[in-house]
């Protein structure tokens, strides 16, 4: 199969879909691999390293001519012109936030595999390392933007406990991978952490996992959320519905009730986010202030640490890509349930039910079109 690695166009994005090590694995398996010129430079991987792995360095147009196009993030509007019938695009698609992209794929007959919707043993395994990075960075960024020079309330998030000055109060909405990584970081610097979660089994796990630590686990409802958000110095929303756009559970009135200079980080803003007052920002201009609250809405947080993130995502995707290269896309989907769970659009038809509902588009069962 002809497989390509394209350079990301999103502002501030330095990740690349494959490492030279993985490219060599694909080439050794008999695939032809094209790498967009300087696609890996942001992650510290040079053209020469890809060439040594057996790839050919090409232009963007040549890269997009491949059968299987590997990306990190969803396609940019400037890349819609490359969509063609039968082409397969792999990446963290987060298509629920871009109806325009989905409609362009539908018109062209393109297939989109979203790594963020691939389930392995009931877990979003490929998304997990990116969620971990985003969760950890949310605390680091929150600590920075609580400083007065950024419009924050002027507190040091870890406090000065040796002088009787307490650490800040961190509220985490959701209890998944991003949430626990954020909690671990916040606890590590001495903060009190409150986690708001809906699933009873997950609540039990969180209570057992954080037993004896400065963590309060609360059942999610409007009253709990309204009460906790008022106390927060740093509020981190991690709510993600695979393939679908989540509801705006954090209302504008809740945001208005927060402390002046407090900080909100919405980890899942690339899927639409849960905070009513939040809109996507960029790594170069990551924040804005509304109702006196600092809003951090970067949709590609892992892109700020591209080398770490690239190695994490590449470790997760290589087995799937080798299987697609060996068996072809149809046979690979038919025989690999995890891979099938990642198919959001197949030859122009929306095959992820949550995505179809979110965008009010026709849904087609994947098995009916294979």
Separation of alpha carbons 308 and 25, rounded Å? 20
Q: What are 89-122's pLDDT values in tens digits?
A: 999 999 998 999 999 999 999 999 999 999 999 8
Tokens of 8: 């990301």
Q: How far apart are CA 178 and CA 173, in angstroms?
A: 10
Given 94, 150, 192, 279, the catalytic residue: 94
The model's pTM: 0.88
Helix (H) or strand (E) holding 319: helix 306-327
Q: In this structure, what token pair is assigned to residue 62? A: 């040549």
- Confidence (pLDDT) at 273: 93
Position 138 scores a pLDDT of 97
For position 218, what pLDDT does the model report? 98
DSSP SS3 for 226: helix
> Among this protein's residues, is 94 annotated catalytic?
yes
Contacts of 218 (CB under 8 A, 6+ apart): 194, 195, 196, 197, 224, 228
> How far is the CA of 38 from the CAs of 58, 80, 278, 368, in angstroms?
9, 21, 33, 40
Q: What pLDDT, on the 0 to 100 scale, is given for residue 240?
A: 85
* Residue 244, pLDDT score: 85
- Give the pLDDT confidence of 196-217 residue by residue, as tens digits: 999 999 999 999 999 999 999 9
Angle at 195 between CA 191 and CA 196, to 5 degrees: 150
Q: What is the pLDDT of residue 241?
A: 85
Which sign does the torsion angle of CA 184, 186, 188, 191 carry? negative
Give the integer Cα–Cα distance in Å for 180 and 68: 34
Q: Distance (Å, rounded) from C-alpha 242 to C-alpha 352?
A: 9
Q: What is the pLDDT of residues 230-272, one digit of tens each?
A: 999 999 999 988 888 889 999 999 999 999 999 999 999 988 8
Cβ atoms of 275 and 266 closer than 8 Å: yes
The predicted pLDDT at position 25 comes to: 98
Residues of the chain with pLDDT under 70: none
């Amino acid at each position: 199969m002809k497989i390509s690695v394209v350079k990301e166009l999103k502002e501030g994005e330095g990740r690349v879909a494959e490492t030279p090590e993985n490219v060599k694995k694909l080439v050794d398996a008999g695939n032809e691999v094209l790498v967009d010129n300087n696609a890996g430079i942001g992650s510290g991987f040079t053209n020469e390293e890809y060439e040594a792995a057996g790839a050919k360095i090409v232009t963007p147009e040549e890269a997009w001519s491949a059968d299987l196009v590997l990306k990190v993030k969803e396609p940019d509007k400037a890349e819609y012109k490359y969509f063609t019938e039968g082409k397969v695009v792999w990446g963290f698609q987060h298509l629920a936030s871009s109806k325009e992209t989905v409609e362009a794929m539908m018109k062209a007959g393109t297939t989109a595999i979203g790594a963020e919707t691939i389930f392995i043993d009931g877990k979003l395994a490929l998304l997990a390392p990116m969620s971990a990075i985003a969760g950890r960075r949310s605390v680091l960024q929150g600590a920075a933007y609580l400083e007065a020079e950024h419009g924050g309330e002027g507190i040091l998030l870890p406090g000065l406990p040796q002088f009787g000055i307490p650490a800040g109060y961190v509220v985490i909405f959701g209890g998944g991978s991003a949430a626990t990584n954020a909690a671990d970081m916040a606890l590590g610097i001495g903060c009190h952490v409150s986690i708001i979660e809906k699933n009873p089994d997950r609540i039990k796990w969180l209570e057992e996992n954080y037993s004896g630590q400065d963590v309060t686990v609360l059942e999610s409802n409007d009253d709990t959320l309204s009460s906790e958000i008022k106390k927060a110095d740093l509020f981190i929303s991690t709510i993600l519905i695979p393939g679908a756009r989540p509801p705006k559970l954090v209302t504008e009135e809740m945001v208005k009730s927060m402390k002046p200079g407090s900080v909100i980080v919405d980890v899942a803003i690339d899927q639409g986010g849960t905070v009513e007052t939040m809109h996507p920002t960029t790594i170069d201009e990551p924040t804005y202030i509304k109702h006196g609250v600092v809003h951090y809405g970067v949709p590609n947080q892992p892109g700020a640490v591209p080398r770490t993130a690239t190695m994490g995502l590449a470790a997760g995707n290589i087995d799937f890509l080798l299987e697609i290269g060996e068996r072809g896309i149809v046979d690979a989907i038919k025989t690999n349930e995890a891979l099938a769970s990642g198919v959001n659009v197949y030859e122009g038809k929306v095959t992820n039910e949550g995505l179809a509902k979110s965008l009010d588009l026709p849904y087609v069962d994947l098995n009916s079109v294979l």
